[in-house]
Structure 1
């Protein structure tokens, strides 16, 4: 009898382990997100011969990943309000695979770097220049003919014999063309330049805005491929972090290094928000989770976008976790700059 019970117990253990293994392998259409890290920007952003600050400027991240069935269950059982489960359709684009999502997120970061540098150099009295170098493909719908010849990461440089420097160029060239028309493209893939051709076709329905019933084209998600020209040069090493939300904080870090004035004045400063070429700060996702990460890192000041109630959400999260961190709403880069310029040095 004891031997029989032992065999049964062993079988039960094996079955449980197999179930746990299966739950870790099976992917579900959800993403799990939770507070990430608040990392100093100085090691990631370097202006040649730049000035050093007495305090710290940080970018804030959230952890976000596609969930296995096991991770989904753990997140659902986690009663921490700062661990969230979101349907994949709200995170990814239609027909977007993981590689294409990575290309898109890294392009968002690259665009944020260029824009942040442009804003900071301009504010510091320098003369930044942006060069447009074609159309970067972030995603190609697999049902479109172009899906057989184009892929994420390609840069379109020539369309039907005409140079392409930005998205608006190609949009103009597509006018008057119809489904079935063959177009000839020159693309750059890595270090290789290739000539390809493909047919135009109607967009799949899931790619059409609600107010558009029919559209013909290549079926790509695209971005302007840009290069920034500044003096002194600036380099970035964001360690594979993706997304556009570090724009504001990178602009502040670059400005700090360009001029001898010490903006940080000894404080530990976090923040989040996109930035455009006019210095406007835009909303981002997961601001409550970013407040938690910033507080854990010991930040004393947190810049939050004033739009879309994000600053209010940040204040609510800080109050909820008992943080003494000062939440500062900003609409523009100048708002953040003026706040730091009038800040009294830390005692």
Structure 2
């Protein structure tokens, strides 16, 4: 009898263990967002023969990861105001798989590096040149005919026999497309060029708020590079998204000009950078303030767009940091502030 009870207990424990392990791998339709840290870009951005930066410009990242059952419960009940649960649809685009999501985040970072390079070199009087190379496909809507011919990572370089270098070049070919129309696209895939015929399809109603719309059904980005002298290299790994744009621009500009912008300070910040130097909002600003403070930053640049600088100041007050929050609307705003430092 005792032997039978031991056997039942043993197998019961095995079943519980299997369930516990399975729950660790089962992903819920939620993501956990929490503060990360600030990381200096001094060693990961190199302008050839550039000047040494006296201080640190720091990009700030937050942790965003798909939640399993345990992570969901921890985030929901840990009592930390800066740990958040996000619904999957607020993180991923509709119909976006994990591979497409990763490609989009990687493309955001690459685009931010290119834009930061352009803005910094132009501000330093170095005359950067933009080389447009086509249209990078980030996502193909699975319910549309194009999914049979196109893949994420393809680069469109032609349409109906004409050269295509930018999204603007493609627009005349897709404007006014109707059912039963098709489009001949020249694409690059894995280093090879091929031509495919893509049929026009009706967008799923969930993507158009019920309105009837037709097209080829892709999410795209311009594929380009920025030609500069002196050359520049980036070694940023495992960080995606566009939010490091401003801080990368400041680092590059300081290496080019030797203006000693940092003046020995640890300067963190966030915000996208646009080709005209405007700084855009990024989301997660409060969590980034927490991460920057924990990393010892003394100054934090926050975009004025979408009231993010206001949110950053509220978070700084809440955690009791001495880190100074500096609102900026443009790259020039940040440079002007840094020029006032002693």
TM-score > 0.5 by shorter chain: yes
Distance 2:325 2:180 in 1: 55
Task: Evaluate the alpha carbon distance shift between residue 10 and residue 141 of structure 1 in structure 2; reply closer, same or farther with a 3 A threshold.
Answer: same
Q: What do the CA deviations read for 1:161-199 (whole angstroms, capped 9, x no partner)?
A: 011111111111123432222221111113121221121
The 5-angstrom pairing of residues 301-316 of structure 1 reads 301-316=299-314
Distance 2:13 2:35 in 1: 34
For residue 248 of structure 2, what is the aligned residue in structure 1?
A: 250
Normalising by structure 1, report the TM-score: 0.94
For residue 87 of structure 1, what is the aligned residue in structure 2?
A: 87
Q: RMSD of aligned C-alpha atoms?
A: 1.6
* Contact 1:50–1:257 under 8 Å retained in 2: yes
For residue 239 of structure 1, what is the aligned residue in structure 2?
A: 237
1:7 positional shift: 4.8
For residue 35 of structure 1, what is the aligned residue in structure 2?
A: 35
Distance 2:3 2:310 in 1: 64
Secondary structure of 2:37's aligned partner = strand
For residue 339 of structure 1, what is the aligned residue in structure 2?
A: 337
Distance 1:218 1:283 in 2: 30
For residue 168 of structure 1, what is the aligned residue in structure 2?
A: 168
Q: What do the CA deviations read for 1:234-253 (whole angstroms, capped 9, x no partner)?
A: 11111131101000000000
The 5-angstrom pairing of residues 1-347 of structure 1 reads 6-7=6-7, 9-208=9-208, 210=209, 213-344=211-342
Distance 1:35 1:122 in 2: 33
Distance 1:132 1:160 in 2: 19
Distance 2:287 2:28 in 1: 23
* Contact 1:20–1:70 under 8 Å retained in 2: no
Distance 2:25 2:48 in 1: 46
Q: What do the CA deviations read for 1:56-86 (whole angstroms, capped 9, x no partner)?
A: 1110101111112222122112211111110
Secondary structure of 2:337's aligned partner = helix
Secondary structure of 1:54's aligned partner = coil
1:111 positional shift: 1.0
Distance 1:4 1:339 in 2: 77
Uncovered stretches (5+) of structure 1, i.e. residues with no partner: none
Q: What do the CA deviations read for 1:106-160 (whole angstroms, capped 9, x no partner)?
A: 1111111111111111111111121211111000001111101111111000111
Distance 2:105 2:99 in 1: 10
Distance 1:328 1:261 in 2: 20
Distance 2:198 2:2 in 1: 71
Normalising by structure 2, report the TM-score: 0.96
Uncovered stretches (5+) of structure 2, i.e. residues with no partner: none
More off after superposition, 292-301 vs 6-15? 6-15
Distance 2:165 2:7 in 1: 70
1:6 positional shift: 4.8
Distance 2:48 2:79 in 1: 47
* Contact 2:57–2:247 under 8 Å retained in 1: yes
Q: What do the CA deviations read for 1:251-287 (whole angstroms, capped 9, x no partner)?
A: 0000010012111100001000011111111111111
* Contact 2:42–2:53 under 8 Å retained in 1: no
1:9 positional shift: 4.7
Q: What do the CA deviations read for 1:16-52 (whole angstroms, capped 9, x no partner)?
A: 3223212112211111111112111012211111101
1:302 positional shift: 0.5
Secondary structure of 1:28's aligned partner = strand
Count of residue pairs brought into register by the alignment: 342
